[in-house]
Amino acid sequence: MRTTSPRAVAHSSRRWEQADHPYAGDTAVLATKHEKLPLIAPPLERAVGLLVEAVAVDTDVLGTFTGDVPRQGPPLDTAIAKARLGMNAAGRALGVASEGSIGPDPAMPLVHSDREIVVLVDDRHGIVVWESHSSWDIVARSTSAGPDEDLGPFLSQAHFPEHQLIVRPNCGAVHPIHKGISALDHLAAAVAECAAAATDGLARIETDLRAHACPSRRAVIARAAERLATRVATRCPACGAPGWGRVDVILGVPCAWCGTEVARPRTEIDGCVACEHRQTRPVVSAEVRADPGECPYCNP
Ligand SMILES: [Zn+2]
Ligand SMILES: [Zn+2]
């Protein structure tokens, strides 16, 4: 694997000076096992003329939604590692990958959220560009049931069969596990088999969150890919590198009554992935004051 030190990048910023987008006509590989190409390739091709081709690699070694392989590390690191799996397999210096995190929303534990990260790794220039999109419009249901239970209400909440299901024993045994279930007879057989294997006589039935099995997740990946494409198309005003955009948010809008800074975005900072250039951009004008209802002193 080639690596480029930050110093080397800073000294060679001239490479970005061309008028055409640096990735126009170039090809990146997408490491995917689950049919993400139609979600991720079109926006990048439209935005900058970057072609994306899929390379079939087993990204499950980096962790799975079904929990067979535990995930390690932050999602961004996993996405970058996935991209490099594909780059190594195809022998290319440009790679794309996505990684999703689905679970109870930290702010609203009863609601599931899906955060999808899409990265572009460029080992030729030593940069990584990434974007994410979060959504509550994710179907992620689970229940436990015995072999003869009426699953009708659950199946409609779970948007079955458009959204596929996974069935496993509810307690005790880890196997058998049935994935990608999209037919009622398969579901009934899986529930019977898994319930029989469980110590409590129940099967665990849950949404199959793999991208090809979960249309509501595919929509979030597509949105994240569009954001990545916009970001890749946006070039640093100082050095011309792709990937210019928001890198930080500064909170702190003064309370209208007491002046204490309330944790609301005041300024966003745009930055470059290749050089040190930064620009601040006010989110609200300097005169704006926060509602005392949000203030920790006026409304504790
Ligand atoms: Zn106040
Ligand atoms: Zn720059």
Residue 12 has pLDDT above 70, yes or no: no
Instruction: Specify the pTM.
Output: 0.85
Q: How far is the CA of 239 from the centre of ligand 2 (A)?
A: 4
Tens digits of per-residue pLDDT, 174-229? 899 999 999 999 999 999 999 999 999 999 999 999 999 999 999 999 999 999 99
pLDDT reported for residue 72: 67
* Ligand nearest to the CA of residue 289, numbered in listed order: 1
pLDDT digits (tens, 9 = 90+) for 85-125: 999 999 999 999 999 999 888 778 788 899 999 999 999 99
CB 262 within 8 A of CB 298: no
| pLDDT tens-digit series, residues 37-93 | 999 999 999 999 999 999 988 777 777 666 666 666 789 999 999 999 999 999 999
pLDDT number for residue 16: 82
d(CA 117, CA 114): 10
- Tell me the DSSP string of 56-105: E--GGGG--TTSSS---S-HHHHHHHHHHHHHHHHT-SEEEEEEEEEEE-
Separation of CA 10 and ligand 2 centre (Å):
8
CA of 283 to the centre of ligand 2 (A): 22
Q: How many CA atoms lie less than 13 Å away from 11 in the CB half-sphere?
A: 5
Question: Measured in angstroms, how far is the CA atom of residue 293 from the centroid of ligand 1?
Answer: 8
How far, in Å, from the CA of 262 to the mean position of ligand 1? 8
Distance (angstroms) between ligand 2 centre and the Cα of 186 equals: 54
